[in-house]
Structure 1
Amino acid sequence: MSTDLDRADPAPGRADAKISFRDVVRTFPMKGGEFTALDRVSLDVGEREFVTVVGPSGCGKSTLLNLAAGLVEPTSGEVLVDGRRVAGPGPERGVIFQQYALFPWLTVRGNVEFGLKLTSLAADERRRRAEQAIDLVGLSDFADALPKTLSGGMKQRCAIARAYAVDPEVLLMDEPFGALDALTRVQLQDQLLDTWSRRKRTVVFITHDVDEAVYLARRVVVMAARPGRIHRIIDVDLPYPRTEELRLSPEFARIRNEVWHSVYHQTPAGSAA
């Protein structure tokens, strides 16, 4: 039995699904009973698709991502990657969190190369892949720098490079830009899309920021809370590459307002529509 992905029956839904959530429920014990974080969530994310997930606090966004990462298991239902049931973490899924989780005693190169040391790659190949990933995120001039000398944005680029170095097929990103200032955040959004355009991967990106969700994604998944479930899925019919002009366009504003309304003007569970 695999430690990360197990075989499952072919998934229904879209034929190009890279990630599938099938009727997923996740509960957590709490005093006097249990808390339902996700309630019967079903979602397909296509091959090489960029999907963002937004919703009010407590809607289960991070739980959804942790299930795909294999960090937690569903209470019922299943999560599939390439038609195989997720049964734990695996190298085909890179995970990036808001906290950079860099080793302070290692350089940028050392941090990026660290994950590769868990593979059977020779030292020179590990170095080559690390250098390639560092160049991909624009940190070549800082490869020998320690994290304490880097800005917050540079630390997050290092974390992204570390994920890319192991060449994952899926990137799972949990509010990676949430702690950054507004200008740095916009710059890293553009950097991420540039990297994604060159190394197409399936991306699930969790965020609280509606503008960020629309700017990055092909589809925005809007979650509803208590219990967590999918409220709406909104297509972002805007071309790539995304630009500042596009961000300021009426069409962007229209989609942004549609997502905003879906997030912040939901009918509470159990209320009449």
Structure 2
Amino acid sequence: MTMQNSTPTSDAPAEAKIHFDHVRAVFDLKGEPFVALDDFDLTIGANEFVTVVGPSGCGKSTAMNAAAGLLAPTAGTVRVDGQPVTAPGPERGVIFQQYALFPWLTVRQNVEFGLELMHMPKSRRREISDRMLALTGLEGFADALPKNLSGGMKQRCAIARAYAVNPSILLMDEPFGALDALTRVRMQEQLLDTWAQEKRTVMFITHDVDEAVYLANRVIVMAARPGRIHRIIDVDLPYPRTEEIRLSTRFTELRNEVWNAVYHQHPAISKGSQQ
């Protein structure tokens, strides 16, 4: 199989789950306009796993925050299931690098937090949290406080909490960035396991090229300042992803392709213009 490169189109197909329609984001930086995103145009399909990589400051997190409804674009539109995003919503679970667990709540209480806000009966909350804890391998830590968990366990708890409210979309911003290498690999495998069992559309931001290739159906490579799409690289590796795949020649080829696209961009692309 050969790797395909494509550019997004402005018209979102019927099966689009998330569609960025020529999104532009401009912020005030010390009295001067800073263009974080410029003509960002991307369609992510239902149940697709997309990773986004690019130089530091290229607008990866800005794009995710726009999809989450945490910021409004200066121009353009983000749509989920064809509807404009104007605020956060329960169909979008957001997971950050910092875990964002409530330290005074147990693992189970953290997982059930969103369900309680939905006024779900206690018996139903317990049923769902039991399933999410088992799915993420935390069933033996339901009564533990976050301070007693390792970094990987805290992140699994954050994933379980996001899954519990049954979102159709997971937006993940460097969720494994603070973990050691071995824990990070295990968390990648755990995430793919849960994704295979509980299909979701995933937009996953990362600085790690190996991680981007290992997880994704497609890797979105962004250009720096102002942030826009430089290349889209299809990952033709089969699921489930295994250690054998990670060590394969094809994985190395794809990894090198993404690496070159990220770190060897033409200066005119990486500098861009802020008009």
Partner of 1:89: 88
Distance across 1 between alignment mates of 2:236 and 2:150: 34
The question of 1:172 aligning with 2:171 is answered yes
Q: Please report how far the alpha carbon of residue 122 of structure 1 lies from its aligned counterpart in structure 2 after TM superposition.
A: 1.1
User: Matches of 1:14 and 1:104 in 2, distance apart?
Assistant: 42
Contact residue 224 and residue 263 of structure 1 kept, 8 A: yes
Identify the residue that residue 249 of structure 2 maps to in structure 1: 250
CA distance in 1, matches of 2:17, 2:184: 28
* C-alpha contact 1:52 1:213 (8 A) present in aligned 2: yes
Cross-structure match for 1:219: 218
How far residue 271 of structure 1 moved from its aligned partner, in angstroms, is: 8.4
Residue 270 to residue 225, structure 1, CA distance change in 2 (3 Å): closer
Contact 1:226 1:269 in 2 (8 A): no
Offset, 1:270: 6.4
Corresponding residue for residue 203 of structure 1? 202
User: Aligned letter for 2:82?
Assistant: G
Deviations 1:57-85 (A, max 9, x none): 00000000000000000000000000000
Q: What is aligned with 2:102?
A: 103
Give the secondary-structure state (helix, strand or coil) at the position aligned to 1:24. Answer: strand
In structure 1, what residue type is equivalent to 2:265? Q
Q: String of CA shifts for 1:102-151, please: whole Å, max 9, x gaps.
A: 11111100110111111031111112111111111010011111111110
Instruction: Specify the alignment match of 2:71 in structure 1.
Output: 72
CA RMSD of aligned residues (A): 1.3
* Count of aligned residue pairs for this structure pair: 262
| Structure 1 residues 210-262: Cα deviation after superposition (integer angstroms, max 9, x where no partner) | 00000000000000111000000000001000000000000000000000000
Match for residue 187 of structure 2? 188
Contact 2:101-2:158 at 8 Å conserved across structures: yes
TM-score, normalised to structure 2, is: 0.93
Overall identity of the aligned pairs, in %: 70
- Residue matched to 1:55: 54
> Partner residue of 1:155?
154
Distance 1:191 1:135 in 2: 12
Structure 2 Cα separation of the partners of residues 271 and 93 of structure 1: 31
On the 8 A contact 1:236/1:255 being kept in 2, the answer is: yes
The answer for the alignment partner of 2:38 in structure 1 is 39
* Equivalent position SS for 2:268: coil
User: Does the residue aligned with 1:269 lie in a helix, a strand or coil?
Assistant: helix
Q: Secondary structure at the match of 1:52?
A: strand
Which one-letter code corresponds to 2:50 in the other structure?
A: V
Query: What's the counterpart of residue 6 of structure 2?
Result: none
- When normalised by structure 1's length, the TM-score is 0.94
Decide whether the 8 Å contact of 1:232 with 1:262 is kept in 2. yes
Structure 2 regions of 5+ residues with no counterpart? 1-9
**SS class of match (2:221):** strand
Q: Which runs of 5+ in 1 are unaligned?
A: 1-10
The 3 A distance-change label for structure 1 pair 138 and 112 is: same
**Per-residue CA shift, 1:7-61, capped at 9, x if unaligned?**
xxxx823331100000000000122421000001000000000000000000000
